[in-house]
Amino acid sequence: MLRRPVPGDGPRITRLIAECPPLDRNSAYCNLLQCSDFAGTCIVAERDGEPVGWISAYRPPARLEQLFIWQVAVSPQARGIGLAGRMLASLLDRPEVPGATEMVTTITHDNAASWALFEAFARRHGAKIERAPRFERDAHFGGAHETEWQARIAPLPQSRSNTGADLP
């Protein structure tokens, strides 16, 4: 089942993210805020009552045409079934994202799985994907993290329907 998170999901989301390297481990408090204050733009995928997928996202206040995808996590036992793509599509149907015409995320150059996910999503929705460096290794991370490349997918379809809320 795909659903909005609730505050009680925070600890379970923190554990799921820890199972999904190389994702950055946010603080438990950050995950709690995402499950409460940003629940309308985040999504949990559950199987047998346990989270197996998570996407955190938000609408940048100065760029309401965007849906920024912060993190995508899929547990190892739920990979390979198109879950991440279904979660992304489901987010577009939320009442919190009216008028979103582009999806934006950042990805390191070597994260092949994330690039494949977002390229496939763009193809399925008849959109283009543009890449450009956003946060650079030396200028923004002091050499401690690889450059984050922005992937911008646009235009998003404006007439959307839910692509399935149940997991196999």
Over residues 104-148, the pLDDT tens digits come to 999 999 999 999 999 999 999 999 999 999 999 999 999 999 999
pLDDT band for position 94 (cuts 50, 70, 90): very high
Residue given tokens 């991370």 in the structure block: 141
Looking at per-residue confidence, does 160 or 105 come out higher? Answer: 105
Least confident of 51-65, 133-147, 149-163: 149-163
- The per-residue pLDDT for 158 is 75
d(CA 10, CA 35) in angstroms, rounded, equals 6
> With contact defined as beta carbons under 8 Å apart, do 158 and 118 qualify?
no
Residue 135 has a CB neighbour count (10 Å cut-off) of: 14
User: Hey, CA dihedral for 5, 28, 134, 131, is it positive or negative?
Assistant: negative
Residue given tokens 């092949």 in the structure block: 112
Sequence-distant (6+) residues with CB within 8 A of 23 are 17, 71, 73
Q: Where are the domains of the chain?
A: 2-154
Residue 96's Cβ-count burial label (10 Å; 0-12, 13-18, 19+) is middle
Closest to 6 measured CA to CA, from 51, 61, 47, 70: 51
**What's the chain's average pLDDT?**
92
d(CA 97, CA 112) in angstroms, rounded, equals 27
Residues present in the chain in total = 168
- The per-residue pLDDT for 167 is 42
- The per-residue pLDDT for 80 is 94
User: Hey, CA dihedral for 18, 94, 64, 128, is it positive or negative?
Assistant: positive
Q: Residue 15: is its pLDDT beyond 70?
A: yes
**Would the pTM of this model clear 0.85, i.e. be above it?**
yes
CATH of domain 2-154: 3.40.630.30
Identity of the amino acid at 1 = M
Overall average pLDDT of the 52-71 stretch: 96
